[in-house]
Chain A
Amino acid sequence: MKVIFEKPKSLEDVTFHYCPGCTHGIIHRLIAEVIDELEIQEKTIGVAPVGCAVLAYDYFDVDMHEAAHGRAPAVATGIKRVHPKNVVFAYQGDGDLASIGMAEVVHAAARGEKITIIFVNNAIYGMTGGQMAPTTLVGQVTNTSPTGRDVEHSGYPIRVSEMLGSLVGPGNSMKRVSVHDPKHIGQAKKAIKEAFINQIEGKGFSLVEVLSTCPTNWGKTPVEALKWLEEKMLPYYPLGDFSPKEGV
């Protein structure tokens, strides 16, 4: 019997605390698979965020560091500059990265820091009970937008990959992927792998924005949530490569 699929080595053999059907778990697994395939478990250092993934340090079997809310890119910068031969990644939610931590990610990208960020965009603050995020869709109902996000009041959702791609020069990489079906999960893994390779080759900053679900705070079953991601998030957040092609 040939093993087609099993738990990656870089993932601890524990049960995630995530809600049933939450795609944070798929994204964790993809990162661990990539670490295994690149054979970098011994030299990878991860930075965990504040958000539902706050306990990520318990799940990856690599060295991990916790960062204050939104500050993962700054912490990852420090680690990478002190340990340039190590592979450093940060795992951040959209509240963490695109609200309180927007300054840190913009400047880390602008400096071309040789770190990799896995940016989990689930269009909401999951951990704190479902408040509106900068990535919440227009019309999306959350605890703090009970009648739907109103452009007049809150503006338009921020497209982080496009924004960062417009700021920086070549060598930096920004891609948006999704995990709503096996085909897209395969593409997401490929993008995560390329982002790590971008760092290993010393090219620059790399970010992979992964569209993800929050069935609990979206008020949907896990299956409905995947469908909602596909039908509502994909049109506003197109998948693709937003890396700068030439100097700015």
Chain B
Amino acid sequence: MQKVIFNEEKCKGCELCTTVCPKKIVYMDEKKINSKGFHPATVTQQEECISCGFCAMMCPDVVIEVRRPSKEGKKDE
């Protein structure tokens, strides 16, 4: 389930989002390079994400979208 979605083409590789994640799951994907020439930020451990939105708040380029699963009885609701 995609809770945090990166528009990787828009990423400028500034790394600000990687410094604020309480779960430390945001990282720069050194295996990829976007058309601007940056390694984009990404999250693969989607299940670890608590949908706090910090990474998206910190991003100066509106690269990140955050969603929260609306399952009943879920702790983070």
Contacts and interface: CB of A to CB of B under 8 A. Distances in A.
Interface of A: 1-7, 11, 15-16, 18-26, 29, 181-182, 185-186, 215, 221-223, 226
B15 to A, nearest CB: 6
Count chain B CB atoms within 10 A of each CB in A2, A18, A215 and give the residue with the most.
A2
Count chain B CB atoms within 10 A of each CB in A15, A23, A181, A186 and give the residue with the most.
A15
A26 B12 CA distance: 14
A155 to B, nearest CB: 32
A40 to B, nearest CB: 20
A20 B69 contact: no
Contact of B20 (A11, A20, A181): A181
A1 B70 contact: yes
A16 to B, nearest CB: 6
A215 B3 CA distance: 30
Given A20-B12, A21-B12, A222-B16, A3 B62 contact: no
A2 B76 CA distance: 12
Contacts of A19: 12
25 contacts: A1-B1, A2-B68, A2-B69, A3-B65, A4-B53, A5-B64, A7-B62, A7-B65, A11-B62, A15-B10, A18-B60, A20-B13, A20-B14, A21-B12, A21-B16, A25-B60, A26-B57, A26-B59, A29-B62, A181-B58, A185-B57, A185-B58, A222-B16, A223-B14, A226-B19
Given A222-B14, A223-B15, A5 B60 contact: no
A219 to B, nearest CB: 15
Contacts of A182: 20, 53-54, 57-58
B38 interface: yes
B60 A23 contact: yes
Contacts of A6: 65-66
Given A5-B57, A5-B66, A181-B58, 17 more contacts: A1-B3, A1-B70, A2-B67, A4-B53, A4-B68, A7-B65, A15-B61, A16-B60, A21-B60, A23-B60, A25-B60, A25-B61, A181-B20, A182-B20, A182-B53, A222-B14, A223-B15
A3 B67 CA distance: 4
B12 to A, nearest CB: 4
Count chain B CB atoms within 10 A of each CB in A3, A5, A20, A24 and give the residue with the most.
A5
B50 to A, nearest CB: 10
A107 B19 CA distance: 41
Given A3-B67, A4-B68, A5-B65, A22 B51 contact: no
